[in-house]
Amino acid sequence: MNLLTIAEHDAAAIGQMLDLAETAEKPLSGKGVALLFEKPSARTRHSMEMAVASLGGHPISVRADEVGVGSRESPEDIARTLACYHSIVAARVKNHALLETFADAITGTPVVNMLSDRAHPLQALADLLTMKQVRESVAGAKIAYVGDGNNVARSLAVGASLLGAEFRCASPEGYELSADILAFPGVKQLRDPAVAVRDADFVYTDVWVSMGQDSETEARKAVFRPYQVDEALMAKAARNAAFLHCLPAIRGEEVTAGVIDGPQSAVWKQAENRYHAARGALAWLLGVRP
């Protein structure tokens, strides 16, 4: 079993990973977990390293350029090498296909996506855990995502659908969720943020310019300007709606400081939950069940 996307799992598996977030013991005792990064990270690296340590294992983080993926050695041979020493291989990659190459090369060792251009499943698990804590149940929740139909939106949309929530994504033309994600029950693509947030329990956004999109910065800033989550937009959501953001955030772009630092913001609960969600996901991949 791997965790490359949320979509490759069913509702029962996702529920078990969330249940294990609080209860897993030491299934990694004496084992290693490789964490390979092609892009920067604060939350993912630290939450994963601490999750591995808390499960009894030993994490080894390396930047991809130290390993020379595809230059010093083929991706397949790097995956096979890491699998000699580690019980799980996790990677943050520019192209999702590299994760699939790793997974195909080491079928007996779980591969975990720590963010790709297509998906961010560990983030979605932490988001769902946060929603469970804030609202008790994700089922029936109305989630409004305002902005780019990107990796974060895609994974959360699928997770929300599997757990019975409604996911409304408001995006400008050309930045919508793709058809494979819109095929999931309860996932809707809208244009107008004000319509998406109406009565929403959660209002979520992410950066307008994701890592690796720097050449598109000016164009994206212009297109996404009407998609800022500000106090006026939050006021259109349900009373006491929670504001969520995967972080890192740019105050004054996708969200105002008043919202992300205000009383409705749950972003630090969400960041902490990256650790708990990572514990649940890793334990589940090692065969632990609640």
* Peptide bond just before 172 cis, omega within 30 deg: no
54 binds, among ligand NVA, ligand CP, none (CB under 5 to 8 A by kind): none
Instruction: Assess whether 72 carries a catalytic annotation.
Output: no
Among 2, 5, 16, 44, the residue binding ligand CP under the rule CB under 6 A is: 44
**91 contacts 115 by C-beta, under 8 angstroms:** no
Size of the site for ligand NVA (CB under 6 A): 9
Task: Select from 41-49, 158-166, 169-177, 188-196 the region that touches ligand CP (CB under 6 A).
Answer: 41-49
Site track for ligand CP across 90-129, x = CB under 6 A: -------------------------x-------x------
Q: Interface residues for ligand CP in 235-254 (CB under 6 A)?
A: 246-248
- Annotation says 169 is catalytic: no
Out of 151, 161, 228, 265, point to the residue binding ligand NVA (CB under 6 A). 151
Active site residue 120: yes
Q: Which of ligand NVA, ligand CP, none sits in contact with 267, Cβ below 5 to 8 A by type? A: none
Nearer to ligand CP, 43 or 168 (CB): 43
Going by C-beta distance under 8 Å and a sequence separation of 6 or more, which residues neighbour residue 96? 4, 113, 116, 117, 118, 119
Given a contact cutoff of 8 angstroms between Cβ atoms, the answer to whether 32 and 89 are in contact is no
Q: Which residues of 206-238 are buried (b: 16+ CB within 10 A; e: fewer)?
A: bbbbbbeeeeeeeebeebbeebbbeeebbebbb
Decide: is 210 part of the binding site for ligand NVA (CB under 6 A): yes
Count Cα neighbours of 135 within 13 Å in the Cβ-side half-sphere: 23
Measured from the Cβ of residue 2, the count of other Cβ atoms closer than 10 Å reads 21
Give the footprint of ligand CP on this chain (CB under 6 A).
41-44, 115, 123, 246-248
